[in-house]
């Protein structure tokens, strides 16, 4: 949520910055118009309530003096009715202002490349050597099906398209990857959390999924409950409506959870394989910190996510997303994209974002500064990493000409000593 006071004070700045994210300046004018009506009614209501209090005192005095107070009583009945109507209008306007503000994305940082599409993202660095395969590489789903470790057909039968079964060493590899990620994250100082997988609407609002992106999630019928699209939701909302002790900052959380996504806007994209599923495992990282430290924390978060790919020996590059391609809540996002030999391209495996105080305002997460004043924390999040995509990248990058897959050295202990996956 943006600071409404800032929108009032600097409307042109807000219009200019949000226009780079596809927001119509008229939406800002509409919000400010509703807000002006609301504030005007607040003044009117408070004036009338003060008048009612004054006249009520006069009525009491008249009654004590045994004088006629009927005219004033009649007048105050009408004033009370008018106040009730104004207060009802205020409730409506308050909801309208809140809804309009809730649909506005975060203000992009000045260093974010401007673009109304994903084109224009800026590569900031790359790492690793792409595998020099002397044979035609197979896609990970072909390898998985040939080796009998991925079964998409059974997943479609039992659940529908974009679901699958991991079998045997496929399941072991998935487990090895997420345990490796969790161990590395905790070594780096993240506190491991096992959060709920179902959250309420207040939590979805707090992290910015609601009200704008309801079509992207799975909700429980007739309940104010949603299957989480990412562990970011329960991790950020851990501190919702709370004041974090200043001495506890920064707070770093990590969690392995399933993620459930309807992928409503991705019809026809990545329909095969592990890239875009309705259910997948993801290790998430979330940070809470003081505002003055959040940009350093973003770089540290990104570097740590990179270290996971480096230890797996997977080539990747880091890009800064454009103003319109980054998430609704982000002020800046660095995407890590890992190399996929069969597709001959990089594919996203982690997004590391600084949401500044945007989520903290929505979730009302604060700390008390050195002067004892309440301030909003800055919240950051990043995949550390998307597990299924990591498995897919390992399968493609470590495939052999005979269709087997070499297990990366760092995963061998997690695989019980297995060094190669074969038929």
Q: Is 188 exposed, middle or buried (0-12, 13-18, 19+ CB in 10 A)?
A: middle
Reported residue count of the chain is 423
Has 383 been labeled as part of a binding site? Answer: yes
Q: Print the SS3 string covering 144-203.
A: HHHHCCEEHHHHHHHCCCCCCEECCHHHHHHHHHHHHHHHHHHHCCCEECCCCCEEEHHH
Has 185 been labeled as part of a binding site? Answer: no
Virtual CA dihedral for 187, 331, 392, 305, nearest 10 degrees? Answer: -20
CA distance linking residue 17 with residue 356, whole number of Å: 15
Has 121 been labeled as part of a binding site? Answer: no
Contact 367, 290 (CB under 8 A): yes
Q: State how beta strands 374-376 and 365-368 pair.
A: antiparallel
Q: Residue 244: in which H helix or E strand, if any?
A: strand 242-244
CA distance linking residue 135 with residue 315, whole number of Å: 19
CA distance linking residue 264 with residue 290, whole number of Å: 36
Has 350 been labeled as part of a binding site? Answer: yes
Task: Tell whether the torsion through CA atoms of 409, 382, 365 and 92 is positive or negative.
Answer: negative
Has 261 been labeled as part of a binding site? Answer: yes
Virtual CA dihedral for 9, 18, 211, 374, nearest 10 degrees? Answer: -40
Q: Residue 76: in which H helix or E strand, if any?
A: helix 70-102
Structure letter (DSSP) for residue 55: H
Has 215 been labeled as part of a binding site? Answer: no
Has 349 been labeled as part of a binding site? Answer: yes
How many Å from the N-terminal Cα to the C-terminal Cα in the chain?
52
CA distance linking residue 130 with residue 336, whole number of Å: 15
Has 263 been labeled as part of a binding site? Answer: yes
Has 348 been labeled as part of a binding site? Answer: yes
Has 80 been labeled as part of a binding site? Answer: no
Positions at the binding site for ATP: 261-263, 348-351
In the annotated binding site for L-serine, the residues are: 230-232, 261, 284, 381, 383
Query: Residues at the annotated binding site?
Result: 230-232, 261-263, 284, 348-351, 381, 383
């Amino acid at each position: 949520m943006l600071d409404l006071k800032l929108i009032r004070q600097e409307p042109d700045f807000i219009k200019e910055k949000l226009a780079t994210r596809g927001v119509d300046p008229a939406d800002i004018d509409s919000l400010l118009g509703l807000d002006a009506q609301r504030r005007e009614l607040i003044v009117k209501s408070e004036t009338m309530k003060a008048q009612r209090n004054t006249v009520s005192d006069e009525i009491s005095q008249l009654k004590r003096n045994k004088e006629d107070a009927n005219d004033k009583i009649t007048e105050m009945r009408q004033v009370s009715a008018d106040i009730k109507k104004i207060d009802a209008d205020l409730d409506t306007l308050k909801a309208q202002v809140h809804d309009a503000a809730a649909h506005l994305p975060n203000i992009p940082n000045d260093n974010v490349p401007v673009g109304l599409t994903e084109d224009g993202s800026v590569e900031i660095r790359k790492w690793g050597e792409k595998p020099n395969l002397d044979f035609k590489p197979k896609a990970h789903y072909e390898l998985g099906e040939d080796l009998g470790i991925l079964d998409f057909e059974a997943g479609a039968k039992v659940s529908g398209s974009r679901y699958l079964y991991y079998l045997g060493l496929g399941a072991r590899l998935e487990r090895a990857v997420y345990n490796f990620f969790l161990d590395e994250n905790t070594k780096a100082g993240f506190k491991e959390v096992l959060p709920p997988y179902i959250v309420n609407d207040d939590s979805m609002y707090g992290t910015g999924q609601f009200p704008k992106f309801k079509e992207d999630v799975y909700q429980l019928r007739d309940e104010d409950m949603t299957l989480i699209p990412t562990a970011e939701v329960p991790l950020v909302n851990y501190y919702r409506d709370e004041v974090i002790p200043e001495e506890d900052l920064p707070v770093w959380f990590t969690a392995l959870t399933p993620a459930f996504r309807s992928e409503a806007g991705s019809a026809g994209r990545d329909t095969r394989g592990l890239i875009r599923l309705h259910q997948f495992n993801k290790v998430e990282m979330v940070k809470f910190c003081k505002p003055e430290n959040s940009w350093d924390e973003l770089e540290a978060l990104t570097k740590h996510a990179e270290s996971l790919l480096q230890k797996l020996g997977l080539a990747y590059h880091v890009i800064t997303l454009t103003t319109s391609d980054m998430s609704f809540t982000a002020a800046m996002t660095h995407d890590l994209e890992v190399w996929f030999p069969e597709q001959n391209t990089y594919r996203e495996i982690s997004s590391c974002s600084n949401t500044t105080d945007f989520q903290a305002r929505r979730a009302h997460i604060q700390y008390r500064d050195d002067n004892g004043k309440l301030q909003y924390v800055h919240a950051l999040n990043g995949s550390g990493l998307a597990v299924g995509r990591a498995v897919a990248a390992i399968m493609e990058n470590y495939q052999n000409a005979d269709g087997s897959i070499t297990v990366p050295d760092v995963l061998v202990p997690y695989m019980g000593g297995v060094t190669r996956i074969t038929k």
